[in-house]
Amino acid sequence: MDGLSDAAAEVRERLQRAARVAVLTGAGVSAESGLATFRSGPDALWRRHRPEDLATPEAFARDPELVWSWYRHRLQRAAAAAPNAGHFALATLQSTRPTFRLITQNVDGLHERAGSRSVIELHGNIWRSRCTVCPRSVPTPLDDALPPRCACGALLRPDVVWFGEALPARAMQRALDAAGSADFFIVAGTSALVYPAAGLVGVARAGGAFIVEVNPEETPATVACDVSVRAKSGEFLPLLC
């Protein structure tokens, strides 16, 4: 057996004994689908763009067309991408465990397209937009002139969380419940730098979960993990199924 298979055998054995499994994912799980992450690799989004120009309420107020053109580009990239083996492995794990909970920071919709259900979306979803004035929520228009408008005439905005904004309260509560009650927690494809999402690893730890990190790089969460697997999620997660 090679190192990865050894690690998988140990993790699989712990997983089989677990009653409540929760998983936190980040941009790295979509990297093998061809989508750029925020902070890793030469194409990293925050290496090429400044978050304050594209992902804050102030940026949107200043130049909604610019912000929208970036999100439309990302939506087009996500639409052209396909879920990878890591996404499918998580959907498979869920199908065999009624208590399985998937928490994601990703807005690309690839977990849902792989078959995951009731995904806890901490940072929203670019496939959805909401009105800046009225309560309407609509599928993000793919070819309207930018910036797109709501039926009420006001601007639509992508239904994602921007810097300086609170996370959706219900999603955050579900994530805290899932992490706090898990006895087995996987943290995959995240740099674990952005709070409050990164804090869920500590919540899982405090709740007594066995924690497995899947990431080619070390992160600030590594010290809180029982096992750190230095591998791509699309390589490792299928070994758990």
* Residues taking part in catalysis: 123
CB 183 within 8 A of CB 210: yes
Q: Based on CB atoms, which residue is closest to ligand OAD, 144 or 217?
A: 217
| Smallest distance, ligand OAD to C-beta of residue 101, A | 18
Beta-bridge partners for 21: 184
Burial of 143 (0-12, 13-18, 19+ CB in 10 A): exposed
Among 94, 105, 125, 129, binds ligand OAD (CB under 6 A): 105
Angle, vertex CA 68, rays to CA 67 and CA 73, nearest 5: 105
Q: How far is the CB of 53 from ligand OAD (least distance, A)?
A: 13
Phi then psi for residue 157, to 5 deg, are: -135, 155
Q: Is 33 in the site for ligand OAD (CB under 6 A)?
A: no
- By Cβ distance, which residue is nearest to ligand OAD? 28
Interactions with ligand OAD, residue window 188-217 (CB under 6 A): 188-191, 193-194, 214-217
Closer of 123 and 130 to ligand OAD (Cβ): 123
Q: Which of 33, 116, 219, 228 binds ligand OAD (CB under 6 A)?
A: 219
Is the N-terminal amide bond of 196 cis, ω within 30° of 0? yes
Answer yes or no whether residue 83 interacts with ligand OAD by CB under 6 A. Answer: no
Closest among 175, 185, 195 to 228, alpha carbons compared: 185
CA 51 to chain centroid, in Å, comes to: 18
DSSP letter at 30 equals: G
Q: Candidates 59-67, 68-76, 145-153, 187-195: pick the segment binding ligand OAD (CB under 6 A).
A: 187-195
Phi, psi dihedral angles at 235 (to 5 degrees)? -90, -40
Q: Which is nearer to ligand OAD, 56 or 132 (CB)?
A: 56
Which residues of this chain interact with ligand OAD, rule CB under 6 A? 26-29, 31-32, 37-40, 55, 105, 123, 161, 188-191, 193-194, 214-217, 219, 232-234
